[in-house]
Amino acid sequence: MANSILFIAITIILYLLAKKLYSHVSFPLLVPITTSTFVIILILSSFHVSYESYMNGGKWINIMLGPAVVSFAYPLFEHKERLKTHFLSIFISVLSGTFIGFISGVCLSIWLGLKQSVILSLAAKSVTTPVAMGITSIIGGIPSLTVVYVMIAGISGAIFGPYLLSLLKIDHPIAIGVGYGLASHGIGTAKAAEYGEVEQAISSITMTLSAIFASLMSPFFIHILIK
C-alpha cells in the first residue's frame, strides 16, 4: 500500500514539475507527458523497479482515465452552437481521419508481416487510451501494447504538430482542433489548449467522435482484413 501511494505521488509530482518547466521553456520535445514519462522510466530502471510494481499505484491513475474522457463531454455543451455551424465539416473530417488512421496502421502492419496479436493491438492506436484498450480487448489484441502505441501517437502529434501546421500554413481554429484531436487524442487536446479555448474544445469533440467511430468500425474492418 505504501509503495502504491509513493508511485502515485512520484507520478503526479513529476508531471507537475514537467508542466512548470514547459510553461517556461515551450520547446515541443519538452511536452509534460514526454518529460515526466522519460524521468519515470529512468527512475524505475535505476532502482530496478518492475513495471508491475509501479502499476500497483499507477493503475489508480489509469482507472481515472475513463472519467476524465467522460468529462470531455462538457465542451460539447459549451460550444454546441459552434458545433452546429461546423457539424458537417467536423463530422466528415473525423470520420475520414479515423478510417485512414485505422486502415493505414493495420495495412502497414500486415505488409510488414507483423504477428496478428501486434496488428490487433495496433488497430486502435488513433483513439484515446481507455477506449483503445476496450477496443483491443474486444478484437483480441493486447491492451498493454495498445497503450504504448497510443502514447507514441499522442506524443508524436504533440511534438511534430506545430511544425506540420506551420509548414502547411493551417491556422483555422477548427482545423487545428480537429487535427490534434484526431492525431493525438488526449495529449493533442492538451496541446490544442495552448492555441486557445476553441481549439481545445474542437479537439476534445474530435477525440470523442473518433472514439465512437473507431469503436464501431474496428470489429467490422478487422474481420474483413484479418479474419
Query: Rounded to 5 degrees, what angle do the CA atoms 188, 70, 201 make?
Result: 45
Torsional class of 143: left (φ above 0), alpha (ψ -120 to 50), beta (otherwise) = alpha
Q: Give the integer Cα–Cα distance in Å for 44 and 48.
A: 6
- Give pLDDT tens digits along the chain (227 positions): 667 788 888 888 998 998 888 888 877 778 887 888 889 989 989 988 887 788 777 677 767 766 766 676 676 677 777 778 888 888 999 999 888 888 887 888 888 888 888 888 887 777 777 788 888 888 888 887 888 888 888 888 888 888 899 899 999 999 999 999 888 888 888 888 888 888 888 888 888 888 888 888 877 777 666 65
Question: DSSP H helical segments within 168-196, as ranges?
Answer: 173-192
Q: Looking at residue 30, what DSSP letter applies?
A: G
